A and B are shown apart, each in its own frame.
Chain A
Amino acid sequence: MGQYILKRILISIIVVFLVTVFVFALIHMLPGDPARLYLGFEASEADVQEMRVKMNLDKPWHVQYYLWMNDVFHGDLGDSLLYRRPNLDIFKERIPRTVSIGIPALLISVPIALIFGIICAIKRGKWIDNLLTFFITLGMGTPVFWVSILAIYIFAMWLKLLPIQGYVSPADNFNQYLYKATLPVLCMATHMIAGVARNTRTYMLETLNQDYIRTHRAFGISERKITAKYALKNALIPVVTVLGFQVRVIIGGSLLIEQVFNIPGLGTLLVLAVNNRDYILIQNCVLMIASFTVLVSLIVDILYGYIDPRIRLSRR
């Protein structure tokens, strides 16, 4: 197991390294001069040139990459060109907002999705399976921003139960947070439930058809115990991977949901940074998101080993 984890960590580090290279290359291939954008179009050519030197843009690309990495390793994520303040401070401000939408959505969706998936698998072909599968397919097929707009229309504009948009931090006013975050959280959760439930159903059905389930039955183990214990543990192994994906969906979903509900989180920040060609912000934001994603994958891999003895014991 130790060797297995070590190997996963090494792979993760390589992945993060490759991501930095790709992001760096991609951003530096974009047209437009960041120094000119920073100073505005009225600035003189000499000032721009001076700025280019200050921003290290005159140096060869590998030196620039080295300088960026050097800063990162010293805990300096640079200053945003757009906000003209340290990126780290911006992140510290925005990450909790994205998390305060994403984590509740994840916590709501996972148990519901698992239960839906298991019910569908056990009651395969019955009306309850057909009904749930219909909604699951619908949920997977509809884009999250469309669901959000529909939800705003129904719950905010029509029923006037919840606000159209806005955000309050739970630390500032918890009741206001609940009031404003309910819709975005539910919209994100709907999307996640669909994905996890469908996968749970598929893997559960696959597991219930295995020979060893027949063995359990042939020796008188009750259906309930077979489903809840012996089949579930097998079906959960691939589902854990899907859950790992869901954590990534928080980031992807936040790009859209935060736009629709006007939440000043990480998603809105990234969109703003790209629109304003704030390359330092984009670069570090992507680095951060990539590292986070890789970290989640790493955790999933380790969890995998914990659930599946074939992985845990094979590289003892």
Chain B
Amino acid sequence: MGNRLLEVNNLKLSFFTVSGEVKAVDDISYHVDEQEVIAIVGESGCGKSVSQMTVMQLIQMPPGKILGGEVLYKGKDLLKYGPRSNEMRMIRGAEISMIFQEPMTSLNPVFTVGDQLREIIMVHKKVSKKEAWDLGIQALKSVEIPDAETRMKNYPFEMSGGMRQRVLIAMSVACDSKLIIADEPTTALDVTTQAQVTDLLMSLVKKMKTSLVIVTHNLGLVTRYAERIYVMYAGKFVESGTTEDLITNPKHPYTAGLLSSVPKITGEKQEKLKPIEGFPPSLIDLPPHCAFLPRCPYATDECAYGPYPPMRIVGDNNHMCACYNCIGGQ
């Protein structure tokens, strides 16, 4: 494991809307080392995508507002630069790249794939138009797009969803980013394409010695690839640790619930999936106690009266959990 690449400390972001303050990211801390693959897991609307957009400073402000924390990339606090600064602009795409959830709408429909790819390369590298175009072809080849020379001249609507996601991956590797943030990279794709795109992404990350943050609700995906996992619920991290520790020995009732709701191929035929009862809470007017309380099968009086449980070390390898009644004691 290499040096610390990204370290996020106590990051807080809220959206101020007519119906109130939405605490989308509420005091989260995590880190990514060089060449490390980590995952942020949670249900839809728990703030996991927003947390990553905050790191990239792509959140519209207003209504969004960063209320505190720091985002240290190679030791420098990105939040100090500001979202529209040149420094931040040069980091996006060249140091940290982001792949989005919706390949169908994430490419500009009236410019060719080549135009869009070349533009990115020319922003970050001092090359001529011709050289940038050739680098674009290489990037498309690296994501295994056949006939890359012709594909460069295609418009996005002439490509399938899987192909477009490959193009977006090509964009994120074209300028040798050190960190790629993949926000639900395969959710919009069909299952066979999902596997192909994920495998491609993982092999590229290995080959280019890039770090990767996978944001997903798909635990199956995560357990296969990620080295460490952060579980997010209602804007906060509730558990973090190595993938093995989390899967074999989940401490937070929410993590345990997530795991038992995933189908297993090895399970017995009649085994029923156990869904987590209830719905995730609205992020407006969150209670002072644990947000998972209404859905928690392990809840006690302490949970209802106590403040929000802080993250604390509950096991080896920095296994952390934010719960008063961690599963298996402690």
- Which residues on A are within 8 Å of B, measured CB to CB? 210-223, 225, 230, 233-234, 237, 307-310, 313
Contacts and interface: CB of A to CB of B under 8 A. Distances in A.
A221 B84 CA distance: 11
A215 to B, nearest CB: 5
Contacts of B98: 218
Most buried by B among A219, A237, A308: A219
21 contacts: A212-B106, A212-B107, A212-B109, A214-B106, A215-B108, A216-B116, A217-B58, A217-B92, A218-B97, A219-B93, A219-B123, A219-B171, A220-B89, A220-B92, A220-B120, A220-B123, A220-B124, A234-B110, A309-B155, A309-B157, A310-B157
A230 B91 CA distance: 20
B105 A210 contact: yes
A210 B60 CA distance: 12
Contacts of A222: 89, 123
A209 B172 CA distance: 21
Contacts of A219: 92-93, 97, 120, 123, 171-172
Main SS at interface, chain A: helix
B67 interface: no
Nearest to A209: B60
Interface string B42-72: 0000000000000010100000000000000
Most buried by B among A215, A217, A222: A215
A237 B110 contact: yes
Contacts of A213: 108
A230 B106 CA distance: 13
Given A223-B84, A309-B155, A215 B100 contact: yes
B229 interface: no
Contacts of B107: 212, 215
B155 A310 contact: yes
B119 A221 contact: yes
A216 B108 CA distance: 9
Given A212-B105, A214-B100, A219-B93, A309 B110 contact: yes
Contacts, number: 77
B124 to A, nearest CB: 6
Most buried by B among A211, A308, A313: A211
Contacts of B116: 216
Contacts of A313: 155, 158
A225 B118 CA distance: 14
Contacts of A212: 105-109
Contacts of A308: 109-110
A233 B120 contact: no
A309 B111 CA distance: 8
A315 B276 CA distance: 50
Given A211-B100, A307-B110, A309-B157, A218 B105 contact: no
Contacts of B124: 220
Interface in B117-138: 119-120, 123-124
B188 to A, nearest CB: 11
A308 B157 CA distance: 11
Contacts of B163: none
A233 B108 CA distance: 10
Contacts of A218: 56, 58, 92-93, 97-98, 100
A207 B307 CA distance: 44
A44 to B, nearest CB: 70
Given A313-B155, A313-B158, A220 B91 contact: yes
Given A218-B92, A221-B119, A234-B110, 20 more contacts: A211-B105, A212-B105, A212-B107, A212-B109, A214-B58, A216-B116, A216-B119, A217-B92, A219-B92, A219-B93, A219-B123, A220-B89, A220-B123, A220-B124, A221-B120, A223-B84, A234-B108, A234-B109, A310-B155, A313-B155
